[in-house]
């Protein structure tokens, strides 16, 4: 028998009231929109800046060097996010969820705006790409902190029976963000034709999504400050806060390790969709860049409904059973469907698109409960830091997916290496789910009482 910090008395005991208040509604809306904006900024370099990356580089660079420099932008964000989760998770637990959110969102809004007005190589030389990478690192820190306050605040503001659907709505913000930036980029490319560093898109076009995302973030920070109140659960835990040290308590630390295992699997599967399925569609299936974009827009719109539906299902059958079932689905039929997509060969956009949607739904289903499940695994005193680190720290190892694929390509056809990553991701999720308890009834308040499990 072990004592788990997450298995506490039902929320009705001393949790928030069962009736929704205006404060709760504002907190939920703030978390949903905040996560959407956060992910919008995360996808900016991948989607909007990619056609104009030569604007920041010397004209005589080769394809491999350009790919290397582009990866630095990704790595800078990658390194910044866990660091930001650590800093802002600590702030969320010490000065409050609300204040941490406002600082983080204002920070990545201002940093994204700075990136959007950067001059290129013709003006600053190598300093242009150095500034871009440095600002993206800072941006990553703020982005990594953007959800460490808003999501816990929202989870602490709603009754237990609504946490599932609220968590699903928050998580679906990432899908809406990708679809929005993809569509915005398509429109911008149509208005500002792409080409070399002197093209209209390189000079002006790519700045439109960056400046738009920055303004959106800054306006949201102001709105959030005016409408969202601090979490009552955080206020109730005032006398038990330990300046971030609560994460090191045995129960919370065990929860962090378990979440790390589970989220490692989630990120492996998620990368197989967000990072690798576009290459599969272009390579194995022969789709054009525009066809790939529209296929992904459809996929992410469908996933928005899947996330909400999956979260509702977890509210009915329990988080743990849902995670076990979803991980098995990703491991077996999800991986099989991905192998089918890879082996289909050149196909029309409709055929390839339908298979892509099937793959995405099967592989991404576990993501529906990421927000609610991680929040439920930690005590109030450690929830901001636990959620931030649990979500962001596990992204590091899966992000070296290209290296793993290189190793696997010595043993099998390179195109099918992504299938192995999906299987590994599903197995990590299964192990993580089995190591954790059921959480849907935990009290999202001070850890005054605990149950044994």
Residues 215 and 254 in one domain: no
Residues 130 and 257 in one domain: no
Residue 420 within any structural domain of the chain: yes
- Chain-centroid distance of CA 7 in Å reads 26
Residues 82 and 215 in one domain: yes
Domain termination residue (choose one: 171, 199, 230):
230
Over residues 71-120, the pLDDT tens digits come to 788 778 878 888 999 999 999 988 999 999 999 999 999 999 999 999 99
Residues 250 and 391 in one domain: yes
Q: Which residues contact 443 (CB under 8 A, 6 or more apart)?
A: 8, 9, 10, 11, 13, 14, 15, 449
Cβ proximity of 293 and 153 under 8 Å: no
Residues 189 and 333 in one domain: no
Percent of the chain with pLDDT over 90: 56
pLDDT at 401 > cutoff 90: no
pLDDT of residue 449: 32
Q: What is the DSSP string of 144-194?
A: HHHHHHHHHHHHHHS-HHHHHHHHHHHHHHHHHHHHHHHHHHHHHHHHS--
Residue 87 within any structural domain of the chain: yes
Over residues 116-173, the pLDDT tens digits come to 999 999 999 999 999 999 999 999 999 888 888 899 999 998 888 889 999 999 999 9
Q: Could you tell me the residue range of the domain that residue 44 belongs to?
A: 24-230
Confidence of residue 227 (pLDDT cuts 50, 70, 90): very high
Average pLDDT over residues 405-410: 91
Q: What is the DSSP string of 399-423?
A: GGHHHHHHHHTTTS-GGGHHHHHHH
Residue 259 within any structural domain of the chain: yes
Average pLDDT over residues 321-342: 96
Task: Report in angstroms the alpha-carbon separations of 401 from 68, 172, 199, 267, 296.
Answer: 15, 24, 33, 10, 20
Residues 39 and 120 in one domain: yes
pLDDT at 434 > cutoff 70: yes
Residue 109 within any structural domain of the chain: yes
Residues 216 and 317 in one domain: no
State the first-to-last Cα distance of the chain, in angstroms, to the nearest integer: 6
Q: Which residues contact 278 (CB under 8 A, 6 or more apart)?
A: 292, 296
Confidence of residue 439 (pLDDT cuts 50, 70, 90): very high
Average pLDDT over residues 330-352: 90
pLDDT at 234 > cutoff 90: no
Higher pLDDT, 69 or 163: 163
Domain termination residue (choose one: 206, 230, 254):
230
- Chain-centroid distance of CA 358 in Å reads 21
Lowest-confidence pick of 84-88, 401-405, 447-451: 447-451
Over residues 34-67, the pLDDT tens digits come to 999 998 988 888 788 888 888 998 888 777 777 7
Confidence of residue 246 (pLDDT cuts 50, 70, 90): confident
Domain termination residue (choose one: 169, 199, 230):
230
Confidence of residue 249 (pLDDT cuts 50, 70, 90): confident
Give the residue from 92, 418, 385, 375 showing the smallest Cα distance to 278: 418
Percent of the chain with pLDDT over 70: 92
Residues 292 and 150 in one domain: no
Residue 19 within any structural domain of the chain: no
Residue 152 within any structural domain of the chain: yes
pLDDT of residue 312: 95
Give the residue from 91, 110, 96, 103 showing the smallest Cα distance to 41: 110
The two structure tokens encoding residue 434: 């089995």
The per-residue pLDDT of the chain, averaged, comes to: 87
Q: What CATH number is attached to the domain comprising 46?
A: 1.20.1250.20
pLDDT at 14 > cutoff 70: no
Average pLDDT over residues 222-246: 79
3-state secondary structure of 436: coil
The two structure tokens encoding residue 442: 């935990």
Average pLDDT over residues 223-234: 90
Over residues 190-206, the pLDDT tens digits come to 999 998 889 999 999 99
Distance CA 211, CA 213 (A): 5
Choose from 75-89, 286-300, 367-381 the range with maximum mean pLDDT. Answer: 367-381
Distance CA 72, CA 76 (A): 6
Residue 11 within any structural domain of the chain: no
Higher pLDDT, 70 or 241: 70
Q: Give the count of domains, the chain.
A: 2
Cβ proximity of 319 and 341 under 8 Å: no
Residues 185 and 257 in one domain: no
Residues 97 and 217 in one domain: yes
Please write down the HEC assignment for all residues of 113-148.
HHHHCCCCHHHHCHHHHHHHHHHHHHHHHHHHHHHH
Confidence of residue 240 (pLDDT cuts 50, 70, 90): low
Helices (H), 11-62: 22-44
Residues 413 and 271 in one domain: yes
3-state class percentages of the chain: helix first, strand second, coil last, to nearest 5: 80, 0, 20
Residues 414 and 274 in one domain: yes
Residue 13 within any structural domain of the chain: no
Cβ proximity of 193 and 201 under 8 Å: yes
Distance CA 45, CA 288 (A): 20
- Taken in order 203, 206, 210, 215, is the CA torsion positive or negative? positive
């Amino acid at each position: 028998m072990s004592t788990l910090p997450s298995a506490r008395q039902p929320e009705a005991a001393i949790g928030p009231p069962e009736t929704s208040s205006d404060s709760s509604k504002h907190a939920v809306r703030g978390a949903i929109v905040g996560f959407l904006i956060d992910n919008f900024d995360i996808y900016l370099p991948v989607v909007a800046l990619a056609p104009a990356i030569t604007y920041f580089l010397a004209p005589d660079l080769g394809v491999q060097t350009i790919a290397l420099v582009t990866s630095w932008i990704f790595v800078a964000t990658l390194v910044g996010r866990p660091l930001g989760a650590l800093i802002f998770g600590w702030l969320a637990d010490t000065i409050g969820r609300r204040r941490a959110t406002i600082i983080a969102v204002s920070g990545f809004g201002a940093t994204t705006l700075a990136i959007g007005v950067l001059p290129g190589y013709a003006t600053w030389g190598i300093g242009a790409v150095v500034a871009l990478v440095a600002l993206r690192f800072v941006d990553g820190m703020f982005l990594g902190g953007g959800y460490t306050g808003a999501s816990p605040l929202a989870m602490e503001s709603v009754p237990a029976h609504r946490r599932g659907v609220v968590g699903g709505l928050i998580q679906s913000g990432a899908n809406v963000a990708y679809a929005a930036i993809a569509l915005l980029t398509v429109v911008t490319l149509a208005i500002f034709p792409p080409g070399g560093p002197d093209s209209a898109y390189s000079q002006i076009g790519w700045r439109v999504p960056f400046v738009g995302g920055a303004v959106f973030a800054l306006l949201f920070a102001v709105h959030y400050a005016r409408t969202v109140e601090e979490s009552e659960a955080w206020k109730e835990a005032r006398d038990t806060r330990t300046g971030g040290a609560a994460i090191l308590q045995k129960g919370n630390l065990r929860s962090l390790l378990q979440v790390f295992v589970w989220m490692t699997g989630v990120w492996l599967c998620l990368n197989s969709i967000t990072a690798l399925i576009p290459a599969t569609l272009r390579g194995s299936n022969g789709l054009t860049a525009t066809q790939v974009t529209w296929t992904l827009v459809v996929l992410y719109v469908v996933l928005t409904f899947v996330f909400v539906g999956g979260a509702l299902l977890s509210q009915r059958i329990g988080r743990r059973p849902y995670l076990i079932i979803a991980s098995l689905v990703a491991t077996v039929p999800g991986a099989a469907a991905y192998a089918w997509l890879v082996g289909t060969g050149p196909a029309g956009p409709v055929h390839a698109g339908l298979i892509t949607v099937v793959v995405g739904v099967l592989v991404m289903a576990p993501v529906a409960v990421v927000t609610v499940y991680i929040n439920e695994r930690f005590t109030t005193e450690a929830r901001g830091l636990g959620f931030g680190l649990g979500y962001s720290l596990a992204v590091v190892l899966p992000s070296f997916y290209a290296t793993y694929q290189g190793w696997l390509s010595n043993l099998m056809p390179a195109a099918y290496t992504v299938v192995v990553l999906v299987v590994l991701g599903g197995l990590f999720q299964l192990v993580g789910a089995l190591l954790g308890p059921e959480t849907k009834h935990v009290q999202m308040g001070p850890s005054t009482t605990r149950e044994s499990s």
